[in-house]
Structure 1
Amino acid sequence: MKLIVEKDRMLKVLSRLQSIADKKSSMAILSTVLFKAEEGGVHLSATDLELGLKSFVEAEVETPGELSVPARKFYEIIKDFPLERILLEDENGWLRITSVGDDEIFFRLACLPAEDFPSLPEVEDAELIELEGALLVEMISKTIFCVATEETRFILSGIYLEQPEDTNFLRFVATDGHRLAMIDREVANIEVLRLNPGIILPRKAAQEMKKIAQEIPGVQFGLKENHAILAAPNLVFTARFIDGQYPDYRAVIPQIEEKPVLAP
């Protein structure tokens, strides 16, 4: 593998990927980013077995190849690299990082075989709907603070997504057993998602989706088997649902408004 890439392009993608890679796992391969260089650019992937992110960076690829590179170390090297055009080359399982025509500054990273990297969910035939990035950010921001953080309340450690019956609304609900937040927003083609019953999106997945949606005006959202999917140009994010039945949150919502309060 040998390629030349612009620093800013690579850094933007790596900042997302290194937050997905599991740096605390006993499986070393989960702390890496998978590189697959081919004509036109390089595909990069990261996963912690619950979340997954695939992205693409345009690059001048001289020799195709693939390698699993330590995510955090590679990100830090690229972030502080003094030159804009970076040469990446596989040297018998080591990644050599230098600049074009200048060998005075270089790094070598010990890598792992690409074949050891876990496969990510296939999403090519998933049905997706269009969402505004700002809408997704709003719905997550107004519910995620109520997600339970205690390990004993695993089923409450995510945001519940559903489509209320006979509506065109997407509903997000979160509770920690003491407080509850709920938001409804009208979404075109919501019926495509078949969110009845709903699904539980893990807290970390919601946080990563919010980061992506803050940077991209329009995204695509969908479900396939037991995964939620967020797609954008040159990017696909997947998150495994939390298994289990969300409690009946409607039972704790007062149905009679005895003392309504109007806020300006």
Structure 2
Amino acid sequence: MKITCQKSDLLKGVNIVSKAVPTRTTMAILECILIDASSGEIKLTANDLEIGIETIINGTISERGIVALDAKKFPEIVRKLPDNEVTIETDSNYKTSITCEKLKFDIVGKSGENFSYIPQFERTQPINISQFTFRDIISKTIFSVADNDNNKMMTGELLEIKDNKLKVVALDGHRVSIRNVDLKSETSDVKVVVPKKTLNEIIKIIDGGVDDVVNIYVNDNNIIFEFDRTTVVSRIIEGDYFKIEQMLSADYDTKIKINKKEFFNCIDRASILVHEGDKKPIIVNTGDNTMSLSISSHFGSLNEDIDIVKEGKDIMIGFNPKFVMDALRAIDDEEINLYMLNAKSPCFIKDDEGSYVYIVLPVNFNNPGAN
């Protein structure tokens, strides 16, 4: 094999597929990036058997072939090459030379014959969504996915299409994040749970705008994301997702309209007094036109009042400050509405159009006013 390409194109391709290199594996071949120049285009591939990524880069093929190169050393070499044209050439024993200007690396490659290519299946009825929108709705929900795998379904996000609307749901037992978006093209109904890792890597790779499209294909075991010249294939999480409809009760006794930035800044200031591992809640106490926020820890305490517009009953309720801040970061509106039933029930942050719903469960606290 002999190929020639620009260092910038090679580096971009290597950075994309490196996200699918396994951190640990018993299959040595998967510790490699595959360069496949056997079919008239230069394709880079990595696969950890849960997620596989392939991308096509620009370049010239002088001799067709395939080689697998170490996924740690090869990217490091590419990053340190001069910003110029790169030639990669292998011999019959997969010894590989990487040449750029006056520099030449000789490294040991492997046969790509035993490499696990990403799964292929018939691609019909694609789900089309703009790259900008997809990245936006995933980044504004994925923080609610559980980090541990005590419950497998909580380690992924639900992507559900019904009546040509895409709903994305993430939850971890303490909060729920939901985003809804209308799809522009007719799409069949789909319900699938995609691992957090897959979605995290995709939103790192995607850099397109509103007019650039992601095509999504689903079968019984896998989901494919195609965008630009990159394909990401992931296993889906099998099982029944949580029945979130029963969480979305419309009942509330208190509705508060508040400036999002002021609310966020107040909680941010309060968080100075709390270590990340502490379970100190921020306590919200509403009056007619004012919300009082307070927090107390061994470092000290904070009390601050914010102007609000309130409908319904007064309420005193406690929250994990991080969970509220995560939700507020994901909202672009200047003013937001909070809906609460009582101190033991979840708080809903949602807009009138139904484009987002953030649910935060309350935290128990000692009411200083209680007898």
Q: TM-score, normalised by structure 1?
A: 0.90
State the partner residue of 2:194: 201
State the partner residue of 2:70: 70
**CA–CA separation in structure 2 for the residues paired with 1:125 and 1:230:** 11
Q: Are the aligned partners of 1:17 and 1:71 in contact in 2 as well (CA < 8 Å)?
A: no
Q: Are the aligned partners of 2:164 and 2:183 in contact in 1 as well (CA < 8 Å)?
A: yes
Q: Structure 1, residues 10-53: CA drift from partner, whole Å, max 9, x if none?
A: 11111011111113222111121111114753111111101111
Query: What is the CA distance between 1:62 and its match in structure 2?
Result: 1.1
Q: Secondary structure at the match of 2:256?
A: coil
Greater Rg by CA? 2
Q: Secondary structure at the match of 1:25?
A: coil
Query: What is the CA distance between 1:152 and its match in structure 2?
Result: 1.2
In the alignment, structure 2 segments of 5+ residues that lack a partner are 259-334, 336-371
Q: Structure 1, residues 107-162: CA drift from partner, whole Å, max 9, x if none?
A: 12222211110131214533213211111111111211110111212221000111
Q: Which amino acid counterpart does residue 75 of structure 1 have in structure 2?
A: P
In the alignment, structure 1 segments of 5+ residues that lack a partner are none
Q: Which amino acid counterpart does residue 188 of structure 1 have in structure 2?
A: K
Distance 1:185 1:10, change over 3 A: same
Q: Secondary structure at the match of 1:108?
A: strand
Q: Are the aligned partners of 1:170 and 1:190 in contact in 2 as well (CA < 8 Å)?
A: no
How do 1:1-264 and structure 2 match up within 5 A?
1-38=1-38, 40-91=40-91, 92-99=93-100, 102=102, 105-123=103-121, 125-164=123-162, 167-189=163-185, 191-192=187-188, 194-195=189-190, 198-215=191-208, 217-262=212-257, 264=335
Distance 1:6 1:22, change over 3 A: same
Q: Are the aligned partners of 2:125 and 2:187 in contact in 1 as well (CA < 8 Å)?
A: no
**CA–CA separation in structure 2 for the residues paired with 1:179 and 1:42:** 44
Q: Secondary structure at the match of 1:45?
A: strand
Equivalent pairs counted in the alignment come to 256
Q: Are the aligned partners of 2:126 and 2:187 in contact in 1 as well (CA < 8 Å)?
A: no
Q: Which amino acid counterpart does residue 212 of structure 1 have in structure 2?
A: I
Q: Are the aligned partners of 2:35 and 2:45 in contact in 1 as well (CA < 8 Å)?
A: yes
Q: Secondary structure at the match of 1:260?
A: strand
**CA–CA separation in structure 1 for the residues paired with 2:5 and 2:105:** 16
Q: Secondary structure at the match of 1:155?
A: helix
Q: Are the aligned partners of 2:145 and 2:154 in contact in 1 as well (CA < 8 Å)?
A: yes
Q: Secondary structure at the match of 1:107?
A: strand
Further displaced range: 220-229 or 110-119: 220-229
Root-mean-square deviation (Å): 1.9
More helix by share: 1
Q: Which amino acid counterpart does residue 160 of structure 2 have in structure 1?
A: E
Q: Are the aligned partners of 1:43 and 1:57 in contact in 2 as well (CA < 8 Å)?
A: yes
**CA–CA separation in structure 2 for the residues paired with 1:170 and 1:4:** 42
**CA–CA separation in structure 2 for the residues paired with 1:129 and 1:224:** 12
**CA–CA separation in structure 2 for the residues paired with 1:129 and 1:159:** 17
Query: What is the CA distance between 1:190 and its match in structure 2?
Result: 5.3
Q: Secondary structure at the match of 2:180?
A: strand
**CA–CA separation in structure 1 for the residues paired with 2:156 and 2:44:** 27
**CA–CA separation in structure 2 for the residues paired with 1:169 and 1:151:** 29
Q: Are the aligned partners of 2:20 and 2:53 in contact in 1 as well (CA < 8 Å)?
A: yes
**CA–CA separation in structure 2 for the residues paired with 1:129 and 1:258:** 40
Distance 1:149 1:112, change over 3 A: same
**CA–CA separation in structure 2 for the residues paired with 1:50 and 1:82:** 34
Q: Secondary structure at the match of 2:246?
A: helix
Query: What is the CA distance between 1:172 and its match in structure 2?
Result: 0.5
Q: TM-score, normalised by structure 2?
A: 0.65
Q: Are the aligned partners of 1:5 and 1:87 in contact in 2 as well (CA < 8 Å)?
A: yes
